Amino acid sequence: MARESGSARSTESGLPIEPVYGPQALEGWDPAGKLGEPGAYPFTRGVYPTMYTGRPWTMRQYAGFGTATESNARYKQLIANGTMGLSVAFDLPTQMGHDSDAPIAHGEVGKVGVAIDSVDDMRVLFGGIPLDKVSTSMTINAPAALLLLLYQLVAEEQGVPADKLTGTIQNDVLKEYIARGTYIFPPKPSLRLIADIFKYCRAEIPKWNTISISGYHMAEAGASPAQEIAFTLADGIEYVRTAVAAGMDVDDFAPRLSFFFVARTTILEEVAKFRAARRIWARVMREEFGAKNPKSLMLRFHTQTAGVQLTAQQPEVNLVRVAVQGLGAVLGGTQSLHTNSFDEAIALPTDKSARLALRTQQVLAYETDVTATVDPFAGSYVVEKMTDDVEAAAVELMRKVEDLGGAVNAIEHGFQKNEIERSAYRIAQETDSGERVVVGVNRFQLDAEEPYEPLRVDPAIEAQQAERLAKLRAERDQQAVDSALAALRKAAEGEDNVLYPMKDALKARATVGEVCNALRGIWGTYVPSDAF
C-alpha cells in the first residue's frame, strides 16, 4: 500500500508519489516508443490488439487438497460455477518429489494441496474431466516434468492426443532457490531438465506452456513490485540462455513461455508494474536474443491476488481486498487470473468462499466497463510516469544481477534473497509502527473476533495414501519399473532427453518418489550455502 511520512508518499517500490501529476511529468516522453499500439511492440498496452473487448481473461481458480477424489469434486464444482481453467495445487511431499509414505512426508500429506504419488492418483484427479476441453495449470516446479507426463498419460487413456492438450506447468526452479524452497536438484541439472522439457513439449505437446516464470512467490516473501519483475525477468533470461545453449532456436520455444505475478492492493503501481514488465521483456527478447516472431516478444502472464495481504482478523474484509487486487490485474492486462478466497489466511477455502472468489472475477468481467476498452490508463500522467519509474528501478536491479554473472550466479551470491529480505523487513517495521495501515490488524480492530469454522483436511489421508501405494507396488510389474528406472538413470548420466524414459517409468506405475530418487542418485540434491 502507499505509505505516508509527513506529507511525502511513496510506492511499494520506494518510488515517490506526487500529489498531482500533469504534462510536466511526461516531459520529453515519446508515446510512439513507450506505448505503441495494443498487440504491437513494445506491448506496453497489452499483448493482444483487442484484449478483453473480444473475450475476458481466463478465470483460472487454484485448488487442490487432500485426496485426488476430493480435489476432483472441487474441480467439477468450479467448472459448474463457470471457471474457465483449472489450476492444481499439490501438497508439499509431491512438490519435493517424495511419496506419501516416505518418513519425510509425515504430517504434510494433502495439507496444502493434493497428494499425487502415481498415475493412479492422476487418473482419479481428472476423472470425468475432458482434458481436450479444459486448460490446466499445474503449480509444480522441481518435479514438473513428472506431473506433466502423468497428465499426458491420463489424457492418452481418455483418447486425447497430446497435441490437443493446453495448459501450463510452473517449472520455475530458480525462484525456488530465491524465495520458496521447494527445490530438489542443484541449479545445473535443474536447468538441463527444463531444457529437456522445452524440447519434449515442442515435439510432443506443442500447445503447452512449458514454464511460468514466477514473481508471485518472491512478492509473497516480501519483494517490492520493482524487485518482483526484475528478478523474474532475470530468471527468464537465464532460461532462454539455457535453451539457446542447448541448441534451440529462440523462436522455437519463446512463444510458449509465460509468467506469473502478484496483484497487490496498490492499483496504480500494480498497473504500472505489469506495463513495465511487458516493455522490458519485449526489448530484451528483440535486442539480446534476436527473436523475430512477435509471439516471442510477448510477455503473457497469469496473476494471483496477494495471499500475503489477506488477514485472519476480520476475514470478510479480504473480499474487498481481493476485488481491488483483481481489478488491478485486469487494468494491467493479465491473461488469466486467480482470485483468493477470503478465508485463506485461516485455512483451506470452503466451497462457499471459493465460489465467492470466482464470482468476484465474474462481476469484474460482466458488471463493470473495464472490458469495454483496451488499456484504460494509457496516457494517464500518473500511470505513465509510474510505469517509467518502475521500469527504471527494475532495469537497474537486472543490471546488478548481470554484473554478478546472471541469475544463477546471483542466487549463489545470495543477492536476490538478501534484497527481498531487506524489503520484507522494511514492510514489517512499517506495519509494526503503524506507518503502514492494515485494516483490522493495526487499525480499526474489533474487541473480539467472530467465530469461524474452517475447512479441515482429514489426517487419515496419509494412511489412505500409504495403503494405495502398498497396493500399487504389489500389483505392478516390478521388473518393468526397475528396467524403466535404469533407462532413466542412464539418460540422466548422459545427454539424452530424460522425459522419454521418465514417461515409460511413470506408465509402468513407478511413483513420483521413485522417479525423483533415481534422479537424485545421479544429479544429487541442492544444499543452500551458508556463506551469505
Quote the cell numbers at residue 113.
494441496
Give me the torsion for CA of 396, 257, 272, 433, rounded to 10°.
-70
Find the CATH number of the domain harbouring 409.
3.20.20.240
Instruction: For residue 299, tell me if it sits in a domain.
Output: yes
Instruction: For residue 517, tell me if it sits in a domain.
Output: no
| Residue 171: predicted pLDDT | 97
Give the DSSP letter string of 212-245: EEE-HHHHHTT--HHHHHHHHHHHHHHHHHHHHH
Q: Tell how many helices (H) and how many strands (E) occur in the chain.
A: 21, 12
Instruction: For residue 195, tell me if it sits in a domain.
Output: yes
Cα distances from 519 to residues 357, 449, 487, 490, in angstroms, run: 39, 49, 11, 10
| Residue 457: predicted pLDDT | 79
CA–CA dist 4, 19 (Å, integer): 12
The DSSP H or E segment spanning 397 is helix 381-403
- Report long-range pairs for 375-382 (Cβ below 8 Å, ≥24 apart): 375/38, 375/44, 375/45, 375/46, 375/51, 375/275, 375/333, 376/331, 377/271, 377/331, 378/35, 378/44, 378/45, 379/31, 379/35, 381/21, 381/22, 381/23, 381/25, 381/26, 382/18, 382/21, 382/25, 382/268
How many domains does one find in the chain? 1
Task: Quote the distance between the C-alpha of residue 58 and its chain's center.
Answer: 15
Instruction: For residue 497, tell me if it sits in a domain.
Output: no
List beta partners, residue 211.
257
Cα distances from 82 to residues 101, 328, 357, in angstroms, run: 36, 22, 12
| Residue 464: predicted pLDDT | 96
Instruction: For residue 463, tell me if it sits in a domain.
Output: no
Which residues, 6+ apart, have CB-to-CB distance to 21 below 8 Å? 381, 382, 385
Give the DSSP letter string of 432-481: HHTSS--BTTTBS--SSPPP---B---TTHHHHHHHHHHHHHHHS-HHHH
Query: pLDDT 10s digit of each residue in the chain, 532 long?
Result: 545 544 478 999 999 999 999 999 998 888 888 899 999 999 999 999 999 999 999 999 888 888 999 999 999 999 999 998 899 999 999 999 999 999 999 999 999 999 999 999 999 999 999 999 999 999 999 999 999 999 999 999 999 999 999 999 999 999 999 999 999 999 999 999 999 999 999 999 999 999 999 999 999 999 999 999 999 999 999 999 999 999 999 999 999 999 999 999 999 999 999 999 999 999 999 999 999 999 999 999 999 999 999 999 999 999 999 999 999 999 999 999 999 999 999 988 988 999 999 999 999 999 999 999 999 999 999 999 999 999 999 999 999 999 999 999 999 999 999 999 999 999 999 999 999 999 999 999 999 888 888 777 788 999 999 999 999 999 999 999 999 999 999 999 999 999 999 999 999 999 999 999 999 999 999 998 754 4
- Domain boundaries, position 329: 30-63+170-433
Instruction: For residue 79, tell me if it sits in a domain.
Output: no
Peptide bond preceding 130 in cis form (omega within 30 of 0) = no
CA–CA dist 278, 125 (Å, integer): 35
- Report long-range pairs for 351-357 (Cβ below 8 Å, ≥24 apart): 351/74, 351/77, 354/61, 354/63, 354/74, 354/77, 354/78, 355/77, 355/81, 356/319, 357/61, 357/322
Instruction: For residue 413, tell me if it sits in a domain.
Output: yes
CA–CA dist 511, 509 (Å, integer): 6
For residue 46, the SS3 value is: coil
For residue 34, the SS3 value is: helix
Instruction: For residue 227, tell me if it sits in a domain.
Output: yes
| Residue 1: predicted pLDDT | 52
For residue 256, the SS3 value is: helix
DSSP 169: E
